């Protein structure tokens, strides 16, 4: 398998001098094409800091992060933005949607940023929205959706650019269990059917077990990196449940 992310001696320090706090301490790891990876740890362990660095949403204090062989630490802001837009999809617990925009307008945004023409981006956005089962909500305002529907819109927005890597930060944290199962199934289906690398940050051990690989973080260090021989399959919702 090809390496999609190579991390060497990653350090992240917040603050200065007596107020300095080292969130990550010489982390090194490789992530491969098509893997599903869980980054696990308690609150304050450094797992979210690691994800933000891997996703190029923040810069390390020292160390290197290569994306498909490209050293991202040497790229300027414009090049970083292009790399994120073309290669990554993001699913966050907080949704980060414009509540006054429609589902279509929210999903089409990454394509608009990428400079895709209007006809093509609408077609691709509608396909992504249909993939997550929200075709009938195309013109609904984001503010009028349930939590589960909002998270599905976020997944549609994440996959609309056909990304090579999807980052999901506690993607089911604000959802009921039945709706959470649907969200996880969507993410793993994309991982399996498109061959995209899936990186999930979570404190949920059951969710972590669904992944091919579990990277456990504690006090800013990787303390365990294991591969599942036979990862569990996302369970199917067995009974109807109203999305919250």
Q: Which residues contact 200 (CB under 8 A, 6 or more apart)?
A: 36, 37, 38, 39, 168, 171, 187, 207, 208, 211
Instruction: State percent of the chain over pLDDT 70.
Output: 93
Q: Which residue stretches of 55-176 are H helix?
A: 77-87, 103-113, 118-131, 147-159
Across the range 2-14, mean pLDDT stands at 96
In 6-37, which positions are buried (b, 16+ CB within 10 angstroms) versus exposed (e)? Answer: bbeebbbeeeeeeeeeebbeebebebeebbbb
d(CA 61, CA 80): 17
Residue 105 pLDDT grade (very low, low, confident, very high; cuts 50, 70, 90): very high
Of 32-46, 71-85, 227-241, the least confident: 227-241
Structure tokens at 131: 């993939």
> Residues 50, 24: contact at Cβ < 8 Å?
yes
d(CA 97, CA 91): 11
pLDDT at 94: 75
Query: Backbone dihedral region of 160: left (phi > 0), alpha (psi from -120 to 50 degrees) or beta?
Result: alpha
Across the range 80-109, mean pLDDT stands at 89
Across the range 20-43, mean pLDDT stands at 95
Across the range 224-241, mean pLDDT stands at 61
Q: Which residue has the tokens 């390496």?
A: 3
Q: Which residues contact 129 (CB under 8 A, 6 or more apart)?
A: 103, 104, 107, 135, 137, 138, 153, 156
Residue 98 pLDDT grade (very low, low, confident, very high; cuts 50, 70, 90): confident
Q: Would the pLDDT of 52 be above 70?
A: yes
Q: Model pTM?
A: 0.88
Across the range 57-76, mean pLDDT stands at 93
Structure tokens at 116: 């895709």
Q: Would the pLDDT of 65 be above 60?
A: yes
Residue 107 pLDDT grade (very low, low, confident, very high; cuts 50, 70, 90): very high
Distance of CA 196 to the CA centre of its chain: 11
Residue 78 pLDDT grade (very low, low, confident, very high; cuts 50, 70, 90): confident
Q: Would the pLDDT of 241 be above 90?
A: no
Which tens digits make up the pLDDT trace of 131-172? Answer: 999 999 999 999 999 988 999 999 999 999 999 999 999 888
Which tens digits make up the pLDDT trace of 150-161? Answer: 999 999 999 999
Across the range 200-211, mean pLDDT stands at 92
Phi–psi pair at 235, nearest 5 degrees: -75, 150
């Amino acid at each position: 398998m090809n390496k999609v992310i190579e991390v060497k001696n990653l350090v992240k320090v917040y603050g200065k001098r007596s107020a300095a706090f080292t969130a990550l301490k010489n982390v090194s790891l490789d992530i491969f094409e098509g893997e599903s990876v869980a980054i696990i740890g308690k609150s304050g362990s450094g797992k979210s800091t690691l994800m933000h660095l891997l996703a190029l949403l923040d810069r390390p204090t020292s160390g290197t992060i290569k994306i498909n062989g490209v050293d991202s630490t040497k790229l300027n802001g414009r090049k970083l933005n292009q790399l994120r837009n073309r290669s990554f999809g993001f699913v966050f617990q907080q949704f980060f949607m414009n509540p006054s925009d429609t589902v279509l307008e929210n999903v089409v945004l990454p394509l608009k940023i990428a400079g895709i023409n209007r006809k093509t981006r609408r077609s691709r956005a509608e396909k992504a929205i249909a993939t997550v089962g929200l075709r009938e909500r195309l013109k609904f305002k984001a503010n009028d959706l349930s939590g589960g529907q909002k998270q599905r819109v976020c997944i549609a927005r994440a996959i609309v650019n056909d990304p090579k890597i999807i980052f999901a930060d506690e993607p089911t944290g604000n959802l009921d269990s039945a709706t959470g199962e649907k969200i996880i199934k969507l993410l793993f289906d994309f991982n399996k059917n498109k061959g995209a690398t899936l990186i999930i940050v979570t404190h949920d051990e059951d969710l972590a077990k669904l992944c091919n690989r579990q990277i456990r973080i504690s006090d800013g260090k990787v303390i365990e990196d294991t591969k599942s021989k036979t990862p569990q399959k996302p369970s199917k919702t067995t009974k109807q449940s109203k999305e919250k």
